[in-house]
Amino acid sequence: MRGELTLSDISKRFGDAVAVSHFSEHFEAGQYICLLGPSGCGKSTTLRMIAGHESVSHGDITLEGKSITRLRPAQRGTAMMFQSYALFPHLNVLENVAFSLKMKGVDATTRERRARELLELVHMDEFTSRLPDQLSGGQQQRVALARSLITEPSVLLLDEPLSALDPFLRIRMRAELSRLQRELGITFIHVTHSQDEAMALSDRIVLMNNAVIEQAGTPMEVFNKPKTEFVARFMGGHNVIKAEGQAFAIRTDRTRVDRVKPGIQGLVSNVEFLGRSVDISLDCSGTELVASMSDEMFYGNTLSEGETVNVHWLPSDLQPLVPAAHEETPSAGSKQ
């Protein structure tokens, strides 16, 4: 199928440092995939290996059934959108978008027509003669998108595409990326360190840490059934508790506090009002827990700092955790 991508046991070493270790994933065609993880976890390196901008130390990448591991970037059927957009500062919007067609030797009228079509797709057709300097961050990103899509790739690779935008624009462009992916029906692979972005966008999240995949699955699976402590903590909204040598994760909104019902004793150390919810930090004999409740519930029974309450939960909400997937030498590369 168009845009079906398989990474088999991919590794990348920079000298002694391991950037990516034994990465195996199969990406279905036409999915929105997010590679998620903290900086230096190897997600960008993985993306760059798929793009062909970084050689693969070990393993194989196949796109639509054929190996692309040794192909040049432009031969792979992938296109990359760079973190800083990498628009050519000396070319105007139209020339930037038409660049790859010019390199292929397509005649001027055809490439101009195609470039205009793509600029329409990203609503930038009014800015054809502007230089990149004269555009806002969001506009530059649209141009960069149009430029990468003009090669008709079956996989679009996006390296932290939203990190340079302000929060408002980030949410708008997020929706736009999602719309574009559905319209085009091609595979998007999006690198990000923001779990919000990954949850909002992806059909599938691949969460990486220390050069390995920590957990992969749908956003719901990753959020509701975190496998390791790292996943639970990185995705947020979870408490990690340890009992009898076994670690469990429990969602903060399933962690309840009560003055009457029996439970573990906890001291309210902080109350944070977050608008739709209230987060209550609790100190339960050394273990930090957070209970998240709706504002209505909170105001129905206000708690204040320094108060002692009982913390309880349903046993069925406990999610057992396994120790970190594969403990390996952490990557020395701390590339953003």
Partner 1 sequence: MVSISEHILLKSDGWRATFTSWLQLSPIISILGFFLVLPIVAIVAVSFWASTEYSYHPAFIFENYGYLLSSKVTYSVYLKTFMFTGITWFFTLIIGFTVAYFLAFHVRTLPMQIALFLVCTIPFWTSNIIRMISWIPFLGRNGIANDTLISLGWIDQPLEWLLFSDFAVILAFVHLFTLFMIVPIFNTMMRIDHSLIEAARDAGASGLQILTNVIIPLSKPGIMIGSIFVVTLVMGDFITVRFMSGGQSASVGRIISNEIGLLQYPAASASAVVLLLTVLIMISVMMRFVDIRKEL
What does the binding site for partner 1 look like in residue numbers (CB under 8 A)? 51-53, 72-74, 79-80, 82-84, 86-90, 99-100, 102-104, 147-148, 151
CB-CB neighbours of 85 under 10 Å: 21
Q: Give min distance, CB of 261 to partner 1, in A.
A: 57
Query: Is the CB of 74 or the CB of 121 nearer to partner 1?
Result: 74
Least Å distance, CB 215 to partner 1, is 30
| Least distance between partner 1 and beta carbon 46 (Å) | 16
Q: Where are the alpha helices (DSSP H) in 122-189?
A: 137-149, 167-184
Nearer to partner 1, 44 or 192 (CB): 44
CB 256 within 8 A of CB 301: no
Place of tokens 């902080």: 270
CB nearer to partner 1: pick between 142 and 238: 142
Closest distance of CB 129 from partner 1, Å: 17
DSSP state letter for 225: S
8 A C-beta contact, residue 255 and residue 313: yes
* CB-nearer residue toward partner 1: 135 or 207: 135
Comparison of 102 and 254: residue with beta carbon closer to partner 1: 102
Residues 41, 45, 51, 57, CA torsion sign:
negative
For residue 184, the minimal CB distance to partner 1 (Å) is 18
Closest contact distance (angstroms) between CB of 218 and partner 1 is 30
Q: Are 319 and 26 in contact (CB under 8 A)?
A: no
- The phi, psi pair for 10, rounded to 5°, reads -80, 135
User: Coil, strand or helix: which one is 177?
Assistant: helix
Nearer to partner 1, 189 or 321 (CB): 189
Pairing relation of β-strands 204-209 and 32-36? parallel
Q: Minimum CB separation from partner 1 for residue 155, in Å?
A: 12
* Burial status of residue 336 (CB atoms within 10 A of its CB: 0-12, 13-18, 19 or more): exposed
**Comparison of 24 and 129: residue with beta carbon closer to partner 1:** 129
Minimal distance, residue 113 CB to partner 1, in Å: 18
Give, rounded to a whole angstrom, the gap between the first and last alpha carbons of the chain: 32
Return the number of the residue (21 or 100) whose C-beta is nearest partner 1. Answer: 100
Structure-token pair, residue 275? 């608008």
Query: Cα(12)–Cα(23) distance, rounded to whole angstroms?
Result: 9
Whole-Å CA distances, 140 to 90, 162, 262: 14, 11, 57
Strands, sheet with 66-67, edge to edge from the N-terminal-most edge strand: 17-27, 5-14, 58-63, 66-67
Task: Indicate the residue among 54 and 60 with the shorter CB distance to partner 1.
Answer: 54
User: Closest distance between partner 1 and the C-beta of residue 335, in Å?
Assistant: 13
Question: Which candidate, 132, 120, 118, 47, places its Cα nearest to that of 88?
Answer: 132
